[in-house]
Structure 1
């Protein structure tokens, strides 16, 4: 790693500039006196969330200490749980500072930075035995010492031990006393990580858990520091080992088994750390395969397939839409992916990660580039801002991830695309969202999956995991059951990309069918519901922007009017903004202005007996306090039919006669037919 940093400094234009930035950041931390290790262990970072606005609280690594914590809207909280969560961030930031200082030393040969990095590593080694096995950890957690969770401890330890390895690579010497402290730390860490592997794999019979990947990664770092090749080989093979976890923790379509892009990246990062440690012993895990052909290279391909045209990775199931530490993790794995696999299609995703880290144009701007980025032979992240980079993204085909239950629909001549979810629930990180559809434009997502707030927020289980927060159908204000749907048809032709999704497990006596058809002119979404008992059938859509012509079709509701949901057996009321009044031909037509200034046109059939509402809902998972306006269509009875068309070309006219739909856009008329046996056909 150290030689590579020197090469980057000498061979690239960006590394020398980045080194100075990283050096300045360490200088600022030192000047602020904020490189002192807390004697208190950390808590659970998910509790670092405002109880009022449900946004993550602010963290400044320059703070020496803190007992009062603020949300982006100015709220102040000071309870012990927030202190514990702040300490998680502090411990993690200090481990990162150790790694960053070691990298600056490798790039500048300034002994002061080696001293800073070594001091942090050794002081943590000395402090670690004094942290208790955490008494405040929640009962379901595997308890750590420096943190509530052993999982957090494993992640933190990999950063600290990577710093230690980098220092040793650079020939930095440790005194006998310092080495004894490090050795004791390694012994204690190995003992706890091994114990927790035993619990997960053999007692709980849960080796596929994402914890296991991180316990493996932490132990891999321990064995790399010690030079214990045989111990690391034993960690790769066997039940719950690296190769076994790849086989059971990742599905044959290359997506992590929980169906969450966040946990996919989470596990891939752990795999890559283990591979980095194995490589030190001449062991190649970068090309290793699971029993169904799973590979780390394939896991990168899955991310490329799911990302939108701007390189944004969707927040499927649990996981943030955007978060600074997550952007760093994304940048890390993508830099490693570019270096080891040369996958130029990763560049737009990497550039988006750097944009989230503060770069306006997507150029390399943080520690991950210096540590893991290639010095030559691979396109830099800044290359993605060129037209050629975007065109490369547009050439991606549609993709069906059948085992995981996701399908991405694209058409080379359309600016629109879609991502639909029909697969397994996703366990504790899943959402009640079968047949959810995210509609995307080249400038970004229009109806995204909103992901998840930190788990300490009450909105986790009262909104973001629930059906009504997704672009799908619920009944009587109640969320779907935990279940799995299916893909009946997936076709990609020159004319259109067509998908037929179906489920009969969402509610007793209920079958749902969603038909999506994407052509050069438009995207059609046709949703059919059949029931054995009467119910209110609720079709939800959550655009991230409000329609320009909303007021012209809206009949305002009374100020205290609301729409009632029942979530987790508790009543929840959403403010009702008003009811939509369709045109004489039974249409609702909306126009939206997108990020790039272009227009998206949306036509919705308002069939007889249908009610349509504008509903105020919480915002996205980044800031739920900024409300959005959802479109809710409701039909009551034994069946429901919802037909919507989206186009960037202009308004779309729709005429339904029986089960025959006439779609007209730009004077081009298409007729489609729906039958229960054959589905939707032109």
Structure 2
């Protein structure tokens, strides 16, 4: 009898042990490194999340939304079609949907402890493990690095970044044999393909490579594969040479035979201020792999201190990226950028949560999270939800700021001048080329009023994931129009783009900051020079945002000085939106419009009308029931051109937006001085207009030399404001004096305005 009881106890123990392994931790070894999840969700974090369920409105709402989404996908069943489409096509979008669901379902398995989600992730991954070994290279040939699931390795890397998180969440749900199949048939070959078999994709400094590095690194962390992790961190060739030694700047030693890998991508494209050289649209895109891999490294390999790398550049970059948004949270379309992308994107939800959790609990980030109305379902998202519930949110401080470009902060930059609560926001680009996504537009600017574009940057020529438009990829007009200088609000010489529109030339140069001053909110200025866009010509632009009590709204003063060793034609376009209302010069139209030129972007502009310059030429338009006026110093020799985008565009790929161009011919040295003014409103309900006419009477360049440029603005009450720019000396302590038209001016610093 006693032996029978002992036998029953032993059988019961074995049954309970097997059941526990089956449901929660199959083959969980005693090795601490085998505790999962550990990348983004952690075991400790999961326990804390479970303890707060039902108590945190923002987290609970985010969880419920994800649950509904995943439940719907489970009802549809698992679909892993043979890849064949470009972006926007069925197979592309299906595989994209799948990797998102793998990650989300894995999270739900951990938080809700429901095997339904664990089995869904398992079955999905095994479907891919069955298919992947037989997959050829993707049939669409356009990419320089074709993937297998997608037409480019970039999207394959997207898949692995998300799938690695799902795998981490169900790691202990699987048996050792199941993990072996997934790792040997899917994850290791996948990581090898996007790295070793595609070094042109993996071993470079670019947002594409960042995704590849993060993908290989994150699956390496799940599998505890240190060799694969070194490949991710330091590139292919020198993974074996990588060490944990730090260099003199506090960064880990990178690839010793050329810059590649995660740390090189973290070092090179970011300035110390956190500006990403490709521009905010691609910074937003790259932030997800940068941050998600950093979070995983912090949790699994804290000795790397990745959030301290390059003086906290990752955390600085999130603040910089939020500064690069308008009043509606949309990113300024610098370089290749799709308009409408904003901090409501999933990448920025992650960025805000990670920045709060790992960046010293910046309470201003919580107000952004409140606007986003969602948090990530992990440790960082829990921290944000708890803080919001406790009432810790404060307003994020969007301000006038100058963000340097270049890895050392010495390759130009982007300046943002803001007045009030973004009543007027000016964005000035004097940056480096921006890698392959850069445009040829030195010293260009765009202008916003309360989130609405007043003077636009065109952005990219692409309909992302719209299959009918070139498979959702970049259109040829991106090169022939959007990248060309004429597509931007800056000076073009002889109808030729800056640096001849050649990447090899443009990537060697950057503009130089002359000065930036936002100490007085009523008079904020930024000034920069470009000496390499055209051989023998030098450009110097100064922009000021001014609030004057005589004006109902702030205005912009734009002073663009050009000197050259030969006479040239100079065009200065302003791309506006809306309906022309009036102008103080005669306009000639033609019954048959023609393109403005034949190349360098000019072939895409219809010339709709021409005019002859007045002493001060003024053009007023109406947009969103607001009146705007451009007032510029001109002469009878200047041509005033009204143009519209869309010529030589047989597939209607370009937006038909209007532009106003000031053309000055046969000059060696000249100054364009222009005031851009927002000054009134119209009500279609009451049918009244208020302040519909400009408050400007004259804009004059009254003095110009190598030392100083003097511009005067006279309003309709004959009151004069004078801006003096020191063209050489920018020392804030230098005392200046200048006599202009028998009047003495004395001041200290690089400018005078009064």
Q: TM-score, normalised by structure 1?
A: 0.79
Report deviation, 1:294. Answer: 5.7
Deviation digits for residues 489-537 of structure 1 (CA, Å, limit 9, x no counterpart): 2233326322222222222322222111223233210112233334331
Contact 1:604 1:644 (C-alpha < 8 Å) held by counterparts: yes
Shift of 1:666: 8.8
The reply to whether residue 216 of structure 1 matches residue 213 of structure 2 is yes
Bigger mean CA offset, 597-606 vs 266-275: 597-606
8 Å CA contact 1:144, 1:150 repeated in 2: yes
Q: Which is bigger in relative contact order (C-alpha 8 A, separation at least 6)?
A: 1
| SS of aligned partner of 2:266 | helix
Match of 1:514 in 2: 541
**What SS class does the counterpart of residue 115 from structure 1 fall into?**
helix
* Residues 281-300 of structure 1 mapped to structure 2, 5 A cutoff: 281-283=300-302, 287-290=306-309, 293=311, 295-300=313-318
- The answer to whether residue 144 in structure 2 is matched with residue 93 in structure 1 is no
Q: Alignment RMSD, CA only?
A: 3.7
Tell whether the 8 Å contact from 1:405 to 1:424 is kept in structure 2 after alignment: yes
Alpha-carbon spacing, 1:394–1:181, altered in 2? closer, same or farther (3 Å): closer
Q: Give 1:66's aligned residue.
A: none
CA distance in 1, matches of 2:93, 2:514: 46
Cα pair distance change 1:250/1:224, threshold 3 Å:
same
Q: How does 1:540-579 map to 2 (within 5 A)?
A: 540-543=573-576, 545-547=577-579, 549-550=581-582, 555=587, 557-567=589-599, 572-579=603-610
Are residues 1:643 and 2:673 paired? Answer: yes
Q: Match for residue 427 of structure 1?
A: 435
Match of 1:530 among 536, 559, 563: 563
What is the Cα deviation at residue 628 of structure 1? Answer: 1.3
What residue is the counterpart of 2:28 in the other structure? none
Q: Deviations over 1:552-577 (max 9, x none)?
A: 87736224223423435x87142223
Give, in whole Å, the separation in 1 of the partners of 2:536 and 2:70. 62
Asked if structure 2 preserves the Cα contact closer than 8 Å seen for 1:471 and 1:541, the reply is: yes
Contact 1:261/1:315 (8 A) holds in 2: yes
| Secondary structure of the corresponding residue to residue 533 of structure 1 | strand
Matched residue SS, 1:567? coil
- 1:159 Cα deviation after fit: 0.8
Question: Which whole-Å deviations, capped at 9, do the CAs of 1:189-240 have from their partners, x for residues lacking one?
Answer: 2322441575668xxxx64233432222112222222134575367545413
Q: Is 2:631–2:675's contact at 8 Å kept on the other side of the alignment? A: yes
Given the alignment of the two structures, is residue 463 of structure 1 paired with residue 495 of structure 2, yes or no? no
Distance 1:437 1:175, change over 3 A: same
Residue 254 of structure 1 pairs with residue 269 of structure 2: no
Conserved 8 A contact 1:304-1:346: no
> Do the aligned partners of 1:251 and 1:294 also contact (CA within 8 Å) in 2?
no
1:267-290 Cα offsets, whole Å, 9 max, x none, are 332222222322342425565444
Deviation at 1:372, TM superposition (A): 5.0
Q: Are residues 17 and 490 of structure 1, via their aligned partners in 2, closer, same or farther at CA, if it must alter by over 3 Å?
A: closer
Q: Name whichever of 524-533 and 100-109 sits farther off.
A: 100-109
> Are 2:41 and 1:13 equivalent residues in the alignment?
no
Structure 1 range deviating more: 367-376 or 143-152: 367-376
Paired position in structure 2 for 1:408 = 415
Task: Say yes or no: does 1:131 pair with 2:164.
Answer: no
Secondary structure in 1 matching 2:410: coil
Report matched runs for 1:312-461 at 5 Å. 312-323=330-341, 327-341=345-359, 342-346=361-365, 362-365=371-374, 368=376, 373-376=381-384, 389=395, 392-401=396-405, 402-410=409-417, 415-454=423-462, 455-461=473-479
SS at match of 2:168: helix
| Distance of aligned partners of 1:617 and 1:200 in 2 relative to their CA distance in 1, 3 Å threshold | closer
Unpaired runs of 5+ residues, structure 1, are 49-82, 352-361
Q: Distance in 1 between matches of 2:130 and 2:460?
A: 37
Structure-2 separation of matches of 1:670 and 1:383: 46
1:611 aligns with 2:639: yes
For residue 147 of structure 1, give the secondary structure of its aligned residue in structure 2. coil
Partner of 1:475: 493
Name the counterpart of 1:232.
229
Assess, with a 3 A threshold, how the Cα gap between structure 1 residues 328 and 211 changes in structure 2: closer, same or farther: same
Structure 2 SS opposite 1:180 = helix
Structure 1 position 493 matched with structure 2 position 535: no
Aligned partners of 1:175, 1:676: CA distance in 2, in Å? 71
CA gap 1:511/1:146 in 2 versus in 1, 3 angstroms: same
User: TM-score scaled to structure 2, two decimals?
Assistant: 0.72
Q: Report the number of matched residues.
A: 610
- Show CA shifts across 1:150-207 (max 9, x none): 2321221111111111223xx5335835752344212212322441575668xxxx64
Distance 1:487 1:657, change over 3 A: closer
Name the counterpart of 1:263.
282
Larger radius of gyration: 2
**Structure 1 residue 120: Cα displacement:** 1.4
1:672 to 718, 723, 728: 723
Per the alignment, in what secondary structure is the counterpart of residue 499 of structure 1? strand
